[in-house]
Amino acid sequence: MATTAGTRRSPSGGALCWAAAPVAAVRFGRWAPPRAHSWTPRRTYPTWSLSLVRSARWCLLRGRRAQVCGAAVMSATEGSSPSSAVRESASSHPAGRAISDAGVIGLAVMGQNFALNLASHGWRVSVYNRTYARTAETVERAQRELAADDTTASGSVTGFADLRSFVLSLKRPRRVFLLVKAGSAVDATVEALAEVLEPGDIIVDGGNEWYENTERRAASVAARGLLYVGMGVSGGEEGARYGPSLMPGGSREAYQQLAPLLEQVAAQVPGSGPCVTYIGPGGSGNYVKMVHNGIEYGDMQLIGEAYDLLRGAVGLDAMAAAEVFASWNAGALQSFLVEITARILRVPDTSSSAASAPALVDQILDRSESKGTGLWTMTEALRRGVAVPTIAAALDGRYLSARKDERERASRVLRGPERLSGTGHASELAAAGASPGAAGAVAETGPDTAPERVAALASGSVRASASTSRSDASAERALIAAIEDALFCSKLCSYAQGLSLLQRASGEQGWSLDLGELARIWKGGCIIRAQLLERIEGAFRRDPSLPNLLLDADLAAEIGRRHESWRRVVGLAASLGVPAPALTASLSYYDTYRQAVLRSSQLVQAQRDCFGSHGYERLDDPGRRWHTRWLSGGDSAEVS
């Protein structure tokens, strides 16, 4: 069996070493055929073989006569020995020996950080990427970060240039985490892995994948005795590195094997535990992550609309609005998204030559992009007959934002209220709970409102001054508080809609989702983590069969205390021409849900029966269907 080793210089000046491994080698620029026990990829998925060719060719073109093989990549600085973590890894990964606790395939932002997270908790990790440069980069980064952290347990990261050597390095049952782009890339990777894994081994797809694809792949690999898990991962780059929220679904047997790793690397919430739990069978883990992202869409849009109102109704600049968001983050709206909003709004445009640099956010092209999970959530909601208007408004908002050229043309043609420019709007501010004198105060302070003053307004500690009367300050404070109420109530509706979709899907798919437990694991690590989730968890702990979050007595009472401000803000937005589709949709959802009788729906049913003879049921005789000759006498008859 051929074994080879070699070195080359890394981009940073260090030397990258390939430890010996029993795989196909490159000799004098030509491929040697694979020896015994080597793995040959299927012709239908040539990317793995091509990546090996590229890796070998890279070395040859750099003038190295090294014979390249699939191998553990160890990083060291030229003239110095590797760090202790890397030295240990180099000596403990001889060819063919299973030594690593887990493997990670796909070393883009999420995969690389997840691998380092595992290693930081003492696990030995093997890594592999289609392009070899990412593998080397990951190992070099692991060397730096693991050596620099005195608190890090003795984990390690070892890179491999071919898939078979990667697999052979893993202890059984092998635990392989995939963090590659959803779709065909996952299919190719799973198919390649299925050729070299053995019964009882586990594949974990940690990408944002369509849940039915997960179920299809799970059924396919089950025929070979492999276990499959579709795992939602939320938290972005920082979460993957230091503690994400994890949503694994699929094989319960596989989860039991994964739990010791996942419970350590997941975000930890004091008094609540690790932000990971077994979600349920099939594609439930990916489905829950999909809906999580839908809620995230709604949350982001709502925050954006609140910001627009602070700018367009109150007259604040970005820096002043940042202080308002910071104050909100100290209260009931405390959340990751509100926190980062305050921080984002404080960032200046350093490229500006102005004496006082404008906020960077004001220089961003106003086209909101998306990657598809919001659309998936909408598709599922439509298919299952679940109303998610806040999420729909958020998605529509992104689509409308993309029509930048059309919007610029429309701004010159379509009539509407002028945006706040320093005068007027006293009556509108009064309608939002402020006194008629507030418009002058807003106009006076305008875009140069001091952050300290706005923070005082938001907290209620403002004092009268020469430029601001006590009544003016009270009016501004009332308006800011009203926007806070509107944001709180609307966020609650966004959660209610997403959880209703999960509840419906759980019943139809037989997943038995625990909504209280989902709220618990979303309290840390993930993008939608928020103080509000503590109350949402409590609602479903009290009543696991709660049909809608809004029916919880505690939360219903909270909305009852805030809904009048919510209504005034939505009305104010309309009167000022400030677009607030998600705030408006949320209020309409709330009002529609609380109506015992919907007259609009009565008329719609009558219209359907009039032109299509679809029939209708009577309030006083439910269960029987009737048809009426609406345009010729009004006679009614029961229909079967």
For residue 347, count CB atoms less than 10 angstroms from its CB and return exposed for 0-12, middle for 13-18, buried for 19 or more. Answer: middle
- Compute CA distances 554 → 36, 230, 259, 329, 491, whole Å: 67, 34, 34, 21, 16
Q: Does residue 296 carry a catalytic annotation?
A: yes
Please tell me what DSSP assigns to residue 313.
Answer: I
Q: Which residues, including other chains, have CB under 8 Å from residue 186's CB and lie 6 or more apart?
A: 178, 180, 205, 207, 209, 213, 217
- DSSP string for residues in 392-442: HHHHHHHHHHT-HHHHHHHHHHS--PPPP-SS--HHHHHHTT--TTHHHHH
* CA atoms of 194 and 183, how far apart (whole Å): 17
- Tally the residues of the chain: 640
Annotated catalytic residue, options 140, 289, 323, 380: 289
- DSSP string for residues in 580-630: -HHHHHHHHHHHHHT-SS-HHHHHHHHHHHHHH---EEETTEEEEEEEE-T
Q: Give the CA count within 13 Å in the CB-facing half-sphere of 440.
A: 9
C-alpha torsion 361→367→369→374, nearest 10: 100
Please give the structure tokens belonging to residue 313.
């109704």
Least Cα distance to 499 among 488, 515, 523 occurs for 515
- DSSP string for residues in 531-551: THHHHHHHHHHH-TT-S-GGG
Please give the structure tokens belonging to residue 577.
């021409």
Annotated catalytic residue, options 137, 209, 215, 296: 296
8 A C-beta contact, residue 83 and residue 141 = no
Beta strands 102-105; 73-76: pairing state: unpaired
Please list the active-site residues: 289, 296
